[in-house]
């Protein structure tokens, strides 16, 4: 009897796994590479990755240590280089920043963001502090593609730089850093530098943190000063706002038709104007604000309002796949880097010309219509 029950249980698990992976395979057209940045990190947890293309290759960064918020959490960087046989590979991670204040005081590092200045240095923005409501911003620069780094420079009081997602350089010369605060409600603002970090000014906050709660915006561009932000929220949906004057003023924050599980997203405008969004297409159960951080999805749009399903990067009952960072490299490929189960950082490469698209209707991902995914095993705090 026990053996029979075990066999039934095993068959059920295999059936669920088969259905899950069959759906996953259906939604991976255009995915040309799927790999870990580091197979065996020298620390238990990795999170909040970022990626940039430099003249010498790709560079990634994330925070890693025993556990988020612990004082031993540092910023780690890995670079891609060609090996002896010509194959491109990620190098062992390098500890480039810590939160040591003095001999007796140390804080955790948080949310690195990489930005490559055109024909200039690579900038690493990051935060240090006891919590997101009390952290402060710093930056370092590298003139050799992330091999070596300058001393840390603290940003002006009240500035933290881009809070999670990459800055966007506008045609007017302003580098716009999408940012947010969490101390007195979730509020979105922008930190503007016309000289790549030497001087700063601030726009916003654009919401009061009461009616609409959003953080960690990403910026999409449409030309002629038109911008859109997409942001993580507590409101069960990705939130958006629009600007028609290069980000100087913004429309009221409103919900999009896409769900959000209170987890980070990222987006990028491709060279041909296509908008790409990476996020967890998860509507939390009931009236909850938070849901599992699986699956991890990629959707595209021409106008920022009507979205089509493109790729499911990960789909598993084991959470989490989260906090994506997405860029397009000079060869036209799209690169996504993200947290894999809080243990490692994953890197995916997508050929946008090979995507097979289906419209997302009424906020429902087409492959998930009528399908209930296995419940995730964990939902993390942050």
Q: pLDDT tens digits for 349-377?
A: 999 999 999 999 999 999 665 545 555 56
User: Whole-number mean pLDDT of the chain?
Assistant: 92
Using alpha carbons, select from 49, 48, 42 the residue that is nearest to residue 65.
Answer: 42
Helix or strand (DSSP H, E) at 327 = strand 321-328
What confidence tier does 15 reach under pLDDT thresholds 50, 70, 90? very low
**Cβ(338)–Cβ(49) under 8 Å?**
yes
> What is the Cα–Cα distance from 372 to 334, expressed in whole angstroms?
29
**Cβ(18)–Cβ(303) under 8 Å?**
no
Q: Is the pLDDT of residue 9 over 90?
A: no
Q: Is the pLDDT of residue 164 over 70?
A: yes
Q: Is the pLDDT of residue 8 over 60?
A: no
Q: pLDDT tens digits for 195-252?
A: 999 999 999 999 999 888 999 999 999 999 999 999 999 999 999 999 999 999 999 9
The DSSP bridge partners found for residue 339 are 322, 345
- Kindly state the average pLDDT of the residues 269-286: 97
Domain segments of the chain: what residues?
A: 25-359
CATH number for the segment(s) 25-359: 2.120.10.10
> What is the Cα–Cα distance from 262 to 243, expressed in whole angstroms?
24
**Helices in the chain by DSSP H: which ranges?**
2-26
Provide DSSP, 214-261: EEEEEEEEEETTEEEEEEEESSSS-EEEEESSTTSS-PPPEE-SS---
| Count of H-run helices and E-run strands, the chain | 1, 26
**Cβ(54)–Cβ(77) under 8 Å?**
no
> What is the Cα–Cα distance from 338 to 23, expressed in whole angstroms?
21
The per-residue pLDDT for 6 is 39
Q: pLDDT tens digits for 42-82?
A: 999 999 999 999 999 999 999 999 999 999 999 999 999 98
What confidence tier does 10 reach under pLDDT thresholds 50, 70, 90? very low
Question: Cα–Cα distances in Å, from 51 out to 251, 346, 347, 376?
Answer: 29, 11, 9, 27
Helix or strand (DSSP H, E) at 74 = strand 74-82
Q: pLDDT tens digits for 241-259?
A: 999 999 999 999 999 999 9
Number of Cβ atoms within 10 Å of the Cβ of 225: 15
Q: pLDDT tens digits for 119-153?
A: 999 999 999 999 999 999 999 999 999 999 999 99
> What is the Cα–Cα distance from 236 to 251, expressed in whole angstroms?
20
- Kindly state the average pLDDT of the residues 73-94: 91
- Provide the whole-model pTM: 0.92
Q: Is the pLDDT of residue 382 over 70?
A: no
Using alpha carbons, select from 97, 60, 63 the residue that is nearest to residue 79.
Answer: 60
Provide DSSP, 81-141: EE-TTS-EEEPPPEEEE--B-SSS-B-EEEEEEEEE-TTSPEEEEEEEESSTTT-EEEEEE
Lowest mean pLDDT among 17-21, 30-34, 42-46, 145-149: 17-21
What confidence tier does 183 reach under pLDDT thresholds 50, 70, 90? confident
> What is the Cα–Cα distance from 244 to 235, expressed in whole angstroms?
25
The per-residue pLDDT for 11 is 39
């Amino acid at each position: 009897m026990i053996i029979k029950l075990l066999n039934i249980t095993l068959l059920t698990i295999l059936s669920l796994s088969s259905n899950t992976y069959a759906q996953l395979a259906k939604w991976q057209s255009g995915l040309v590479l799927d790999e870990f940045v580091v197979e065996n990190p020298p620390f238990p947890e990795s999170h909040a990755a970022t990626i940039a293309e430099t003249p010498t290759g790709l560079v990634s960064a994330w925070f890693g240590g025993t556990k988020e918020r612990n004082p031993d959490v540092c910023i780690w960087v890995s670079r891609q280089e060609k090996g002896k046989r010509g194959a491109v590979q990620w190098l062992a991670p390098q500890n480039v920043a810590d939160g040591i204040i003095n001999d007796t005081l140390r804080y955790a590092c948080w949310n690195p963001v990489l930005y490559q200045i055109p024909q200039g240095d690579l900038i690493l923005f990051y935060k240090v502090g006891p919590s997101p409501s009390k952290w402060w911003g710093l930056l370092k620069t590298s003139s050799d593609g992330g091999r070596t780094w300058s001393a840390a420079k603290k940003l002006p009081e009240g500035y933290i730089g881009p809070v999670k997602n990459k800055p966007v350089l506008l045609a007017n010369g302003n580098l716009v850093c999408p940012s947010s605060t969490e101390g007195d409600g979730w509020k979105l603002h922008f930190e503007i530098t016309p000289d790549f970090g030497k001087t700063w000014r601030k726009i916003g906050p654009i919401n009061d943190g009461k009616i609409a709660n959003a953080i960690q915006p990403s910026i999409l561009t449409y030309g002629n000063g038109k911008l859109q932000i997409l942001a993580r929220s507590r409101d069960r949906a990705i939130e958006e706002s629009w600007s028609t004057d290069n980000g100087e003023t913004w429309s009221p924050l409103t919900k999009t038709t896409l769900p959000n599980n209170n987890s980070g997203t990222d987006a990028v405008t491709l060279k041909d104007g296509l908008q790409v969004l990476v996020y967890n297409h998860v509507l939390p159960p009931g009236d909850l604000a938070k849901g599992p951080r699986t699956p991890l999805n990629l959707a595209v749009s021409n106008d920022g309002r009507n979205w089509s399903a493109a790729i499911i990067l990960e789909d598993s009952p084991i959470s989490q796949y989260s906090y994506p960072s997405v860029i397009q490299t000079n060869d036209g490929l799209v690169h996504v880097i993200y947290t894999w189960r809080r243990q490692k950082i994953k890197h995916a490469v997508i050929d946008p010309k090979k995507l097979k698209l289906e419209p997302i209707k009424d906020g429902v991902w087409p492959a998930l219509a009528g399908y209930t995914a296995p419940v995730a095993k964990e939902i993390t705090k942050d």
